Amino acid sequence: MTEKKIRNLSILGLTWPIFVELLLHMLMGNADTLMLSQYSDNSVASVGVANRIIYIIILIFGVIATGTSVLVAHHLGAKEFQKASEVAVVSIFGNLILGLVLSVMIYLFGEQILRVMGLPQELFSEAMLYIIFVGGFSFIPAVILTVSAVLRSHGFTKDVMFVTIGMNLFDVIGNFLFIFGPFGIPILGVFGVAITTTFSKAIGLIVILVILTKRVEYPLPFSNIFSLPMEHLQRLFKIGVPSACELLSYHTSQLAITYITTFLGTQALTTKVYAENLMMFIYLFSMAISQGTQILIGHLAGARHFQDVYERCIYSIRISFAISLGMGIIMYIFSNQLFEIFTDNPAIIQSGSLLLLVTILLEPGRSFNLVILGALRALGDIHFAVYLGIISMWGISVVMSYLLAIYFELGLLGIWISFVVDEWLRGLVLLRRWKLRLWLRKYNHHNEFVS
């Protein structure tokens, strides 16, 4: 990565491939479920349960991958190319070992895990097939996730996007062949889906490793892996673990709110699912802006251009805020038509439209919350944001959801109001912290972060 290439990195140039990649992951997951539903409802349920376990495993791999993205970007910005290469190799090897360990554990204890989850007996055999053939090869996505982080930190987000497109196309075509059995191909159901999923990832791994060796302009010391400083691994965990805790807190708090929603009845639960599926398009863009900003700020901080760091984050906040607000307004204007894609129930459409009206206020707050969180992560100032997130997610979002939805009988509207309060409170607190430049004091105090 030359200085000229670093200087030419732009937020939009980094963001749109990340957005396409995130969108593809979401759409392809829905496509898999849709195709499998034509084969068997039990198969959908089996794969759904198995995927919950696999998602937790992927979250563990994200610990090292998140730290990789931040540290590699820092070293590149500081022109410490040898250290950037060392971090890349240590992280790839570290996630490979972790992936192999978890793959063996899934293979040995997959049955016990499914039984602990209380899986019905009629779903057990197919869930076991899927978890063994997909979860048992978890080391493949572990390495893909880490190599992708290295490439993104170098600005090669388009390369990662194209690999993701290829994997998803291969996956969808393979699923179609083994689920519907055209041209006399045997119908394999869940087994075929599992084989296709694993095989597509294996091909993706080969391709992305080739891209890594072609794109990175300095040597990657794979042959010297055992002599590389283990301090790199410690720093990876120092950044990645808090980030994973924040993400885990978010998903578990959302699970708690879904449980609260069940008290409102099946119709409310269905409306919530449809509304969140529509909102996901806005959320994904904010996530893409956040990841792109994190990469840029990592480079700028490594080069110690702290005024540029400050201004870049504010610029990203404005872009994300404006687009989230605009997308929210458009989505509300066409809310009836959007909900009619999923249902013809007028009560669900009316209730969902009200939620999308509140979303016009919700998503801009979430957008600058996510952007600042990514910026702070890039600077190693993540602990405060994690503590704030856990307190706000559970103390405000979950508690307010129960009080407003159940006690004050506002239903789903009360839950959406709690989301607004949670996101805006966290966002405003983080914005104040950013403007006070408390992150700069912490960064300068802990200068061993990138050394």
What number of other Cβ atoms are within 10 A of residue 142's Cβ? 29
152 is written with which tokens?
């993104």
Residue type, 269: L
Instruction: List the single range of 191-205, 240-254, 367-381, 418-432 with lowest mean pLDDT.
Output: 240-254
Which one of 184, 203, 229 terminates a domain?
A: 229
Same-domain pairing of 192 and 260:
no
Strand (E) or helix (H) holding 137: none
Same-domain pairing of 166 and 300:
no
Same-domain pairing of 293 and 224:
no
Of 233 and 137, the one with more pLDDT: 137
Which one of 178, 206, 229 terminates a domain?
A: 229
The string of pLDDT tens digits covering residues 319-342 is: 999 999 999 999 999 999 998 887
Same-domain pairing of 18 and 94:
yes
Structural domain includes residue 219: yes
Which one of 208, 229, 250 terminates a domain?
A: 229
Same-domain pairing of 15 and 91:
yes
CB 353 within 8 A of CB 415: no
Domain tally, the chain:
2
Same-domain pairing of 178 and 292:
no
Nearest partner of 181 among 54, 59, 35, judged by Cα: 35
Structural domain includes residue 237: no
Residue with token string 């495993």: 57
Same-domain pairing of 379 and 259:
yes
Q: Is the pLDDT of residue 179 over 60?
A: yes
Same-domain pairing of 337 and 385:
yes
Same-domain pairing of 78 and 186:
yes
Same-domain pairing of 200 and 278:
no
The string of pLDDT tens digits covering residues 45-97 is: 777 777 777 877 887 888 888 889 889 998 988 889 999 999 999 999 999 99
Structural domain includes residue 362: yes
Q: Can you give the residue range of the structural domain that contains 433?
A: 242-449
DSSP codes joined into one string, 333-356: HTHHHHHTTT---HHHHHHHHHHH
Same-domain pairing of 124 and 247:
no
Same-domain pairing of 225 and 251:
no
In percent, the amount of the chain with pLDDT more than 70 equals 92
CA 218 – CA 409 distance, rounded (Å): 61
Residue 342, pLDDT score: 78
